[in-house]
Amino acid sequence: MVALLVAASVGLLVAILVTPILIRSLQTRGIGQHIREDGPQGHVTKAGTPTMGGLTMMLALVIAYLASHIATGAVITSAGFLVVLLTIGAGLVGLADDWIKISHQRSLGLNKTAKTIGLLAVALVFAILAVYRAKVRTDISFSRSVFDVSDLVYIVWAVLIIVGTTNAVNLSDGLDGLAAGAAIYAFAAFVFVGFWQFRHQPCYSVGPALDLAVIAAAMVGACTGFLWWNAAPARIFMGDTGALAIGAALAGLALTTNTHLLLPIAGGLFVMITLSVAIQVVGFRLFGQRVFRMAPIHHHFELMGWPETTVIIRFWILSLMFTALALGLFYADFLSAGSGCRVPVA
């Protein structure tokens, strides 16, 4: 428990103290966000807001993770180390995207092919090392094993989860604080999952569970500290740097805690937003009609007249409900496992 408290506290302090330093540095250099011309007109006033705030979240994660291990003397596990590297790797792909936007004075950075190749490379390296170095469980699971697959199938599965989750969070990063606030709830779910698995090791057989819970706690703190400055009206945006890092961290935690099928529920808001984009594209291509006034769906509600803060808070509430549902299902599965799972580890 001490390890989790240290990770969350240090992550919060680093993010909340370093972010304003980054804001001033970016403002001094005239580095700011370019707004898409086809987006909601109310967003035009946000042009020039500093971006790449995800850098502080990645820094907070690393410092909080190390501080927790120094404070408790715990050993860094291979799985935990890989999740941290995955988060940084995806964040660097996002950083390249953000930097191109800034340096070329445009709202589009890396093209889709380049960004996808970058994410695929990061995800593939993680998946291979997770299987052959960290020796993570390679069965597909909700909270306990559902069915076994070969190493190759697992690697492909892991890559798809990572790329899909990073893109889902990226699509959700369209309003001030929306993605950061929703991510706090999702990471909080993995704090509980990791700690519960650690306390009931015979039931789950996830060796590095506590170390993974530490990473989740560090991300809760990092996202909360960043949200202090990212809340509407945002002083800084996370950019693709932060969105891809958050998505990768969530995917990495789901894969290493062996809760792959729980992720779409805990991150249900991200799934909902991604589905809105898919529905919009399919509807327009097949029927020539737009289902929503604008996709992703949070912009649809803006165009309906909802104030931005109303959309954000209501979507945070939805995210909280998805998280509660995920944890409820996780606990229900635990109860159904029988008495052998209910003896906590001392």
> Cβ contacts of residue 270 below 8 Å, gap of 6+?
165, 168, 169, 171, 172, 182, 186, 247
Exposed e or buried b for every residue in 259-274, given b needs 16+ CB within 10 A?
Answer: bbebbbbbbbbbbbbb
Full 3-state SS string of 10-32: HHHHHHHHHHHHHHHHHHHCCCC
Over residues 12-30, the mean pLDDT reads: 93
* Amino acid, single-letter form, for residue 174: G
Residue 273 covered by a domain: yes
Identify the bridge partners of residue 148 per DSSP, sorted by sequence position.
139
Residue 112 covered by a domain: yes
Confidence band, pLDDT 50/70/90 cuts, at residue 340: low
Q: Residue 54 sits in which domain range?
A: 2-341
Q: Which two tokens stand for residue 231?
A: 């809340």
| Pairing of β 139-141 and β 145-148 | antiparallel
The reported pLDDT for the residue numbered 146 is 73
Q: Average pLDDT, whole number, for the chain? A: 90
Lowest-confidence region among 206-210, 243-247, 333-337: 333-337
Instruction: Indicate whether 343 pLDDT > 70.
Output: no
The reported pLDDT for the residue numbered 284 is 86
Instruction: Indicate whether 344 pLDDT > 70.
Output: no
C-alpha pair distances (Å), 3 with each of 41, 160, 194, 229: 45, 31, 12, 26
Full 3-state SS string of 293-306: CCCCHHHHHHHCCC
Residue 7 covered by a domain: yes
Lowest-confidence region among 26-40, 167-181, 232-246: 26-40
Instruction: Indicate whether 175 pLDDT > 80.
Output: yes
Confidence band, pLDDT 50/70/90 cuts, at residue 41: low
The reported pLDDT for the residue numbered 346 is 54
The reported pLDDT for the residue numbered 336 is 84
Confidence band, pLDDT 50/70/90 cuts, at residue 119: very high
The reported pLDDT for the residue numbered 325 is 97
Q: Map residue 147 onto helix, strand or coil.
A: strand
Main-chain phi, psi angles of 290, to 5 degrees: -90, 125
The reported pLDDT for the residue numbered 35 is 61
Exposed e or buried b for every residue in 137-146, given b needs 16+ CB within 10 A?
Answer: bbebbbbbee
Peptide bond into 296 cis (omega under 30): yes
What is the end-to-end Cα distance of the chain in Å, rounded? 13
The radius of gyration of the chain's CA atoms, rounded to the nearest angstrom, is 20
Angle separating helix axes 151-172 and 112-132, nearest 10 degrees: 140
Position of tokens 């932060």? Answer: 242
Confidence band, pLDDT 50/70/90 cuts, at residue 106: low
Residue 307 covered by a domain: yes
Residue 60 covered by a domain: yes
Residue 265 covered by a domain: yes
User: How does pLDDT run across 247-306, given as a tens digit for each residue?
Assistant: 999 999 999 999 999 999 999 999 999 999 999 999 888 887 888 888 899 989 988 989
5: nearest Cα among 60, 75, 61, 64: 64
Residue 346 covered by a domain: no
The total of structural domains in the chain comes to 1
Angle separating helix axes 239-256 and 151-172, nearest 10 degrees: 140
Residue 243 covered by a domain: yes
